[in-house]
Structure 1
Amino acid sequence: MTGPQPASLPLPRLAARPAPPAQSARVREILAAGRALLAAEGAEALTMRRVGDQVGIRAASLYKHLPGKPALEAALVDAALFETGDALHAVVDAAAAGTVVGALLAEYRRVALGDANLYRLATSGRIDRGLLTAGLDEWSGEPFYRATGEPHVAQALFAASHGAVILEMDRAYSDTSDLDATWQALAAAFTR
C-alpha cells in the first residue's frame, strides 16, 4: 500500500491574469520615457522633471497624466510584474515535470538580469503595493507555487532566487564562480 501521491508538477494556473489598467497614449509615452531613464541611470534619476524632459513636457504637466512619482513608479512596477508573470507562467506551462524548477529559475534570472534597474525597483519594497493592479503581485508570483506545489517551499524558492540574482547583479560572487552551476545547484535543491 502506498501513501498519497504528490500532485504532478507543474500545477495548473490557479488565478486568472489580472486585466492591465487602461492607459492613454500619453501615459504609455511617459512610462516608456521613465523606463528608458530607469534602465540607463537607475531609480535615483527617475524624477518627474527628468521624465518630462524626455517626453518634451514640463514636469507640472505630467501630473495631468500621473498623480506623482509614486504613481509613475507603481505603473513601472505594474509593467514589470505583468512581463515577469507572463514569462514565468509561460515557462511553467511548457516545462515537463522534473524540469519545471530549473526552467523557472533560468527564466527568472534572464528576466531580472535583462532589466536590472526595473527589477530592483519592483523588488525593493519601496513601492506602495496598494497602487498596483489588484491581484497582480499574487498572480506574478504564482509560478513559484505552481513549480513547487507548496506555499512555503515556493516562498523559499523565491527568496533564494531573489537573493541569488541580487548577488549576481551586485557582482558579489567571486570572479572564479561558475554562476550557471550555482543556479543549477539551486534548482536541484528545490526539485523533488
Structure 2
Amino acid sequence: MFTGIVVACGRVTAREERGGNLRLEVQVPPAWTEPLQVGDSIALDGVCLTVLARAGDRFVVEAVEETLRRTTLGTWTVGRRVNLEPALRAGQALGGHWVQGHVDGTTVLTDVADRPGSRLHVYALPEVWRPYVVPKGSIAVNGVSLTVVDVTPTAFSVSLIPYTLEHTNLGDLRVGDVVNVELDILAKHIYALVKPYLDRWPGGP
C-alpha cells in the first residue's frame, strides 16, 4: 500500500528482457535515506514491484507481461527518470490517498498550461474510467497523488504546484507523453457496490 507521496526520483541504469518479463536496475539519488531490502515493495511511477536485489545505490525489480501491458514500463529506456515511493509502514502519515500500486492503465497528456504558481495538466479520459473520476476526487498519475480539478466527457485536469514539478517526473512531461494512472480504489469499490442497483433503476445509471 502507498499514499502517492513520491519521496525521490531515481534513474533506470539497466534493462534486460527475460522471456515475457522485463528486469530493471534503478539508481537512487545520493540523498536517499529510505530503508530498502530484498523482498520489499516499491512503487516506480505508481507500479508496485518487488525488490529482487540491492547493492549500494542500486536495486533491481522485474515486471511481468501483464504489468508491461497495462503500464509504461515496457517503453522505459536507460536514463529515464522515475518516481519512487517505498511501501507505507505502520505509523507513517497518510499524506496523499490510498494507492495500491495497481495501475488501471495509461493515458496521454493532451494539454499543458502554465499559471501563476502552478501548472495545469489535461489528460485524455477513457470512457471506462468516467464513473471513477470526479472533480475534487483523488487520482494517481505516475504514482503521484493528485486532486482532480475538472472533468469533461473526454478529459480530466490536475493542477501541479512547483514542489511537485521539481520533485517528481511530472515536471518533465510534454504534450503527447503517456502516463500511468491508478483510479481511486474507494470510488471503484463504491461503484461496484451500487452499480447492480443502478442497472435495475428505470433509465439505467
TM over 0.5: no
Q: Which has the higher contact order (CA 8 A, sep 6+)?
A: 1
Normalised-by-shorter TM-score class:
under 0.3
As a proportion of its length, which structure holds more strand? 2
**TM-score with structure 1 setting the length:** 0.27
**TM-score with structure 2 setting the length:** 0.26
Which structure has the larger Rg?
Answer: 1
